[in-house]
Structure 1
Amino acid sequence: MTTESKRDVLVLLGPTAVGKTKLSLELAKAYGAEVISGDSMQVYRGMDIGTAKIRPEETEGIPHHLIDIHDPEDAYSVAEFQEQGGRLIEEISGRGKLPFIVGGTGLYIESLCYGFRFSEAVADEAFRSEQEAYAEAHGAEALHARLAAVDPESAARLHPNDRRRVIRALEVHHQTDTTLSASHAGQKKESPYRLCLIGLTMDRQVLYSRIEERIDQMLAEGLVEEVRGLLAKGYDRSLVSMQGLGYKEIAAYLEGELTLDEAVTLLKRDTRRFAKRQLSWFRHMKEIEWVETGEGRSFAEIFAEIQGVVARKLPGVSQ
């Protein structure tokens, strides 16, 4: 595909609580864009507060795609996201609108932006069962240590509680004798699109404070009740969706394994660690133009800087 025929795609990414939502709405209005959610948890229906999902009344009429498309018992994959996202980019462009990917799930966004091919390792149910049994007997940390021994890079970006992806990374190594991280690193980094990748960042301690404030707000909005409702509907804690931040900690509280204070402390700690992993993933995406959104910068300043980046990277896009 020649540069001239490539679709323009705007991307806004960054760690949780950095301020993507407000900026995304203003940018979408300015450029006539439709938003493609690049968040692996916002696909699940009924999981709203814990995923910081934008409410329908907050979208200001801007179409938002890949939100509320799965029930919590149906695991969502990066390959599914890539297929659906690619189709949406064509459809949105065909309507004369700008496809605009917004989110914080690095692997999902990068796979769509660069058309990653996924490992040819097929499911090995016996191997998976063996790893599940090991995790049950020795704990998630021990299973994660197995991955760290053979693929430290993947282990660094995956939380020990993300058992499904930890096992998949082990499975790829078991079957192909190469690591998942090497597979990703070896991908051809030429995008089928004309990309403008904008990353939001801020002082780490300020970001951590914002994360803690957001969690307090989630609790005030009814996070405990949301998780209680999901459990009451029969959504098991072992589901991929229920392993998401906010859900596994509050579920542990509701099952009597933790006090509420302990669950909230754990959630804040794990979310800070998650933000750190997000930033680590994004840092290896060399084409990102980073924009500082910390204290002392007005919204107008930040918005103007982003407009300058868009004008440079996507000269054919008009406001």
Structure 2
Amino acid sequence: MNRHSSASSKPPLLVLIGPTAVGKTRLSIEAAKAYGCEIISGDSMQVYRGMDIGTAKIAPEEMQGVPHHMIDICEPTYPFSAAEFQNRVRTLIAEIRGRGNLPFIVGGTGLYIESFCYDFRFSEAGSDESFREEQRRFVEERGEEALHEKLRAVDPRSADKLHPRDTRRVIRALEVHHTTGRTLSELLSEQTRESPYDLCIVGLTTDREILYKRIEDRIDAMLEAGLVAEVRSLLDRGIGRQYISMQGLGYKEIAAYLEGELEYGAAVELLKKNTRHFAKRQLSWFRHMKDIEWLEVPAEPNFPALLQSFHAIIAGKFA
């Protein structure tokens, strides 16, 4: 049987999404081995070299021989974007299919994954560097929360999806409104939502309290694994919090501790709180996507049963 065939004339694309700490990595490896996949990371932070612990980046020995892409492709000083993700992954998918393998996107960055799956166009709104600089000065004078409130006043839907500390994307959403007179959420809602791929999207979810416990356990494990030393190393290299990469969860909170703005305990609690909120936003984003087959991960995961359910979904989509 051709594992990669489907009734559609479009090329097949397997996608696994879900909030942080829900259990995507183990399932993705087993599925990739079963279906001859190459995995493409759909995580906006795992592109950065030297940022391993805080991004929960898969270790080479955990890959079990499965090829992984879009990991460690740029320095933390580089402003990686959803548009660049689209361009790179299009090329990757052609290469993976050329090798006779099934492309498999795995991750939790909703904008990256949805915009790729449905071929969103990011070029409709122009840029205005003077406006961006004006917003950066506003942040310096008034703070990130005040900037976020500016966005909420004109585009509450985008504000709900973006963390106040994600100033680059908040500024971009404001810039879209400034240059077009329309909101980013409006423009995104008008995308065709027609995919150039034969999509099989599987989403993992679990009870919120279970997920929050897993998040806290993961953060404790990251700290034991040396997250503070990793952030200190980045700061020592001159990679400060002005960079997009250092606005990521784990990095901004620990950097605030290392720079004397927070006590250690307060930084850890803030990190756990921010990660819980991030997971909530991830789920909210994914719930608004279409074409998703959801799998519930129980409190005590029965991995063979979960894998069997995953196989059933794929078998029903790709004959």
Query: What's 1:96 paired with?
Result: 100
How far residue 296 of structure 1 moved from its aligned partner, in angstroms, is 4.5
Spell out, residue by residue over 1:268-314, the C-alpha distance to the aligned partner (whole angstroms, 9 max, x if none): 00000000000000001121100001224411111111111111122
Query: What's 1:155 paired with?
Result: 159
Alignment of 1:56-75 (within 5 A): 56-75=60-79
C-alpha contact 1:119 1:183 (8 A) present in aligned 2: no
Equivalent pairs, count: 314
Q: Which 10-residue stretch deviates more, 118-127 or 12-21? A: 118-127
C-alpha contact 1:14 1:104 (8 A) present in aligned 2: yes
Aligned: 1:167 with 2:171 = yes
Secondary structure of 2:103's counterpart equals strand
Aligned: 1:280 with 2:284 = yes
Given candidates 235, 252, 255, the residue that maps to 1:251 is 255
Q: Which 10-residue stretch deviates more, 109-118 or 271-280? A: 109-118
Secondary structure of 2:93's counterpart equals helix
How far residue 235 of structure 1 moved from its aligned partner, in angstroms, is 0.6
Aligned: 1:129 with 2:137 = no
C-alpha contact 1:49 1:226 (8 A) present in aligned 2: yes
Aligned: 1:52 with 2:56 = yes
How far residue 237 of structure 1 moved from its aligned partner, in angstroms, is 1.3
**Any gaps of 5 or more consecutive residues in structure 1?**
none
- CA distance 1:297–1:236, shift in 2 (3 Å): closer
C-alpha contact 2:127 2:179 (8 A) present in aligned 1: no
**Any gaps of 5 or more consecutive residues in structure 2?**
1-5
Query: What's 1:43 paired with?
Result: 47
Spell out, residue by residue over 1:197-231, the C-alpha distance to the aligned partner (whole angstroms, 9 max, x if none): 00000000000000000000000000000000001
Given candidates 299, 303, 306, the residue that maps to 1:302 is 306
Secondary structure of 2:192's counterpart equals coil
How far residue 86 of structure 1 moved from its aligned partner, in angstroms, is 1.0
C-alpha contact 1:12 1:198 (8 A) present in aligned 2: yes
**What percent identity do the matched residue pairs reach?**
64
Aligned: 1:113 with 2:113 = no
Secondary structure of 1:200's counterpart equals strand
How far residue 122 of structure 1 moved from its aligned partner, in angstroms, is 2.3
Distance 1:173 1:119 in 2: 14
Spell out, residue by residue over 1:227-285, the C-alpha distance to the aligned partner (whole angstroms, 9 max, x if none): 00001111121100001000000000000111110100000000000000000000011
User: What residue identity is the alignment partner of 2:202?
Assistant: I
Query: What's 2:246 paired with?
Result: 242
RMSD of aligned C-alpha atoms? 1.1
Distance 2:186 2:272 in 1: 31
